[in-house]
């Protein structure tokens, strides 16, 4: 029976090659498995596997195409067939789109083979594209804090710091939460549930330890990201903010701000540019990617269609960005003349300051979130440096930066930036 199955798989491999190289590879893997189990199988050209693998230009499609069991066979077959410098690269390209159990197995095997750089590159891809790799990101977050050999190895990798992982998880939650507003998808809800569980892992101890080691500027950015995240449920948001408040009470210190917190202040020019960006996404980019999806689907087999997969991911990214822009524009307000004429540093003002160490004078303008030109000294009023100056009057001193690079200024003059 085993031999018959192996021979049947070998017979299917040839006819499938032109249509589906991934299934062809799976057939060769089944044939090899049957041979290993002692089945009476025909011999296959030993170069066939390498030739088929060369036809798979995007290994990342294999997990969604083959399923866990066939994928496991294919990965073992590729490892057995190719030299170490080739099978590890192939594995690294597959890993970001796998499930949790397969990712765990692949990570362990890559580490055992001394291929940490390949593993790090794969996991950096996961953190850079969290919406494309939610399963592996969830595995990475949990395993990073597990008392296992794999967890200890991940914790020792400087490129997989808690801050970077947490920001990737927040990005995933935000994008997924906003996509659920457009599509009531069970898969998206499951991603959100798993993300919530991840943020509360070990009663939040990993996050609390990380927050206690952050600087105030990073804490301010995190506070903003947590408060405006579109996917975190209220109880989780409260917990995260409480942990952050415990580590950085100064970030939550009450200060009188002459602007509304839940508003995006902007100039008319900034508003028009942001609206134009949204129009471009809705009227140009989304129709274009819809055509790409249609064209890719017309090619027939979607299982190993890298163009189709890439187009779907691009659509999700565009949809997420369009939703975020719509939400921001709904809260936009034009900077008022009263704010511009303020006697203290405010949204819409320009400040002239003196560096207390060098004596050099500098000028900064604080405008809307869509008006910033840092190279010209024009900053968003929400930027950490701008927040350090807000409320200051002539004669006041302002500090900003980490201890090793902390700067001190004296405010000389405040005037209109518009």
Average pLDDT over residues 77-83: 88
- pLDDT of residue 318 exceeding 60, the answer is yes
Average pLDDT, the chain: 84
Q: Which of 276, 283, 286 is nearest to 317 (CA)?
A: 286
Average the pLDDT over each of 184-188, 346-350, 368-372 and give the range with the smallest value.
Answer: 184-188
Task: State how far the Cα of 377 lies from the Cα of 408, in Å rounded to an integer.
Answer: 17
**To 10 degrees, the CA torsion angle through 144, 148, 153, 156?**
60
- Contact between 401 and 416 under an 8 Å Cβ cutoff? The reply is no
pLDDT at 33: 76
Average pLDDT over residues 380-395: 87
- Confidence band (pLDDT; 50, 70, 90) for 152? very high
Sheet containing strand 361-367, edge to edge, reads 378-380, 361-367, 349-355, 407-416, 397-400
CATH topology of domain 337-416: Chitinase A; domain 3 (3.10.50)
Task: State how far the Cα of 200 lies from the Cα of 210, in Å rounded to an integer.
Answer: 14
pLDDT at 42: 60
221, with CB counted inside 10 A (0-12, 13-18, 19+), is middle
Cβ neighbours of residue 339 closer than 8 Å, sequence gap 6 or more: 258, 259, 265, 346, 347, 348, 349
Per DSSP bridges, beta strands 264-266 and 332-334 are parallel
Region for 401 from its dihedrals, namely left if φ exceeds 0, alpha if ψ lies in -120 to 50, beta otherwise: left
**Per-residue pLDDT tens digits for 86-140:** 899 999 999 999 999 999 999 999 999 999 999 999 999 999 988 888 999 999 9
- pLDDT of residue 220 exceeding 70, the answer is yes
pLDDT at 344: 87
pLDDT at 254: 47
* SS3 assignment, position 364: strand
pLDDT at 4: 65
What is the number of other CB atoms lying within 10 angstroms of the CB of residue 186? Answer: 7
pLDDT at 93: 92
pLDDT at 118: 94
Q: Please, what is the Cα angle at 189 between 185 and 190, to 5 degrees?
A: 115
> In the chain, what are the domain boundaries?
264-334, 337-416
Q: What would be the CATH architecture of the domain defined by 264-334?
A: Orthogonal Bundle (1.10)
Q: Kindly state the helix (H) or strand (E) to which residue 313 belongs, with its residue range.
A: helix 306-330
Helix %, strand %, coil % of the chain (to 5): 65, 10, 25
Average pLDDT over residues 235-245: 87
- Confidence band (pLDDT; 50, 70, 90) for 256? very low
**Per-residue pLDDT tens digits for 341-353:** 888 889 999 999 9
**Per-residue pLDDT tens digits for 11-53:** 666 666 667 777 888 777 777 777 766 666 566 566 777 777 7
CB neighbour burial string for 373-389, b if at least 16 within 10 angstroms, e if fewer: eeeeebbbbbbbbbbbb
- Contact between 102 and 63 under an 8 Å Cβ cutoff? The reply is yes
- Confidence band (pLDDT; 50, 70, 90) for 396? confident
Kindly state the DSSP code that residue 335 receives in the 8-state scheme.
P
- Contact between 262 and 331 under an 8 Å Cβ cutoff? The reply is yes
Residue whose structure tokens are 């809260």: 331
- pLDDT of residue 209 exceeding 80, the answer is yes
Q: How far is CA 222 from the centre of its chain?
A: 15
Q: Please, what is the Cα angle at 381 between 376 and 387, to 5 degrees?
A: 110
Task: State how far the Cα of 414 lies from the Cα of 363, in Å rounded to an integer.
Answer: 10
Q: What DSSP line would sit under 371-417, residue for residue?
A: --BGGGTEEETTSHHHHHHTT--TT-EEEES-GGG-EEEEEEEEEE-
- Contact between 323 and 178 under an 8 Å Cβ cutoff? The reply is yes
pLDDT at 39: 62
- pLDDT of residue 158 exceeding 60, the answer is yes
Q: Computed over its alpha carbons, how large is the radius of gyration of the chain?
A: 27
CB neighbour burial string for 128-151, b if at least 16 within 10 angstroms, e if fewer: ebbbbbbbbbbbbbbbbbeeeebe
> How many CA atoms, within 13 angstroms, populate the side-chain half-sphere of residue 265?
21
pLDDT at 305: 61
pLDDT at 174: 87
- Contact between 297 and 363 under an 8 Å Cβ cutoff? The reply is no
What pTM was estimated for this model as a whole? 0.62
């Amino acid at each position: 029976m085993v031999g018959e199955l192996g021979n049947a798989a070998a017979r299917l491999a040839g006819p499938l090659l032109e249509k589906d190289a991934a299934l062809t590879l799976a057939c060769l893997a089944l044939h090899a498995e049957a041979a290993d189990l002692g089945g009476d199988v025909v011999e296959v050209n030993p170069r066939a596997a390498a030739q088929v693998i060369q036809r798979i230009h995007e290994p990342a499609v294999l997990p969604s195409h083959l399923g866990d069991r066939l994928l496991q066979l294919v990965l073992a077959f590729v490892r057995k067939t190719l030299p170490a410098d080739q099978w590890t690269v192939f594995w690294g390209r597959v890993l970001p789109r796998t499930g949790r159990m397969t990712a765990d197995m692949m990570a362990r095997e890559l580490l055992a083979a001394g291929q940490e750089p390949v593993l790090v590159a794969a996991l950096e891809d996961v953190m850079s594209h969290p919406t494309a790799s939610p399963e592996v990101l969830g595995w990475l977050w949990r395993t990073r804090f597990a008392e296992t050999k794999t967890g200890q190895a991940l914790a020792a990798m400087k490129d997989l710091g808690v801050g970077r992982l947490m920001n990737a998880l927040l990005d995933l939650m935000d994008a997924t939460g906003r996509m659920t507003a457009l599509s009531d998808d069970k898969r998206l809800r499951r991603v959100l549930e798993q993300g919530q569980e991840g943020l509360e892992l070990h009663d939040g101890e990993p996050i609390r330890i990380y927050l206690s080691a952050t600087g105030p500027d990073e804490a301010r950015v995190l506070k903003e990201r947590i408060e405006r995240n579109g996917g975190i449920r209220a109880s989780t948001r409260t917990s995260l903010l409480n942990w952050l408040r415990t580590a950085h009470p100064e970030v939550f210190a009450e200060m009188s701000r002459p602007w509304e917190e839940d508003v995006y202040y902007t100039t008319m020019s900034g508003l028009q540019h942001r609206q134009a960006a949204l129009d471009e996404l809705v009227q140009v980019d989304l129709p274009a990617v819809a055509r790409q999806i249609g064209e890719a689907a017309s090619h027939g087999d979607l299982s190993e269609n890298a163009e189709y997969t890439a187009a779907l991911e691009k659509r999700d990214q565009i949809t997420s960005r369009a939703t975020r822009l719509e939400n921001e524009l709904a809260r936009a307000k034009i900077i008022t003349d009263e704010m511009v004429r303020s006697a203290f540093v405010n949204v819409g003002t320009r400040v002239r300051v003196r560096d207390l160490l060098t004596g050099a004078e500098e000028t900064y303008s604080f405008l809307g979130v869509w008006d910033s030109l840092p190279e010209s000294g024009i900053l968003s009023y929400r930027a950490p440096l701008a927040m350090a100056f807000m409320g200051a009057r002539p004669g006041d001193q302002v500090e900003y930066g980490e201890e090793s690079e902390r700067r001190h200024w004296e405010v000389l003059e405040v005037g209109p930036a518009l």
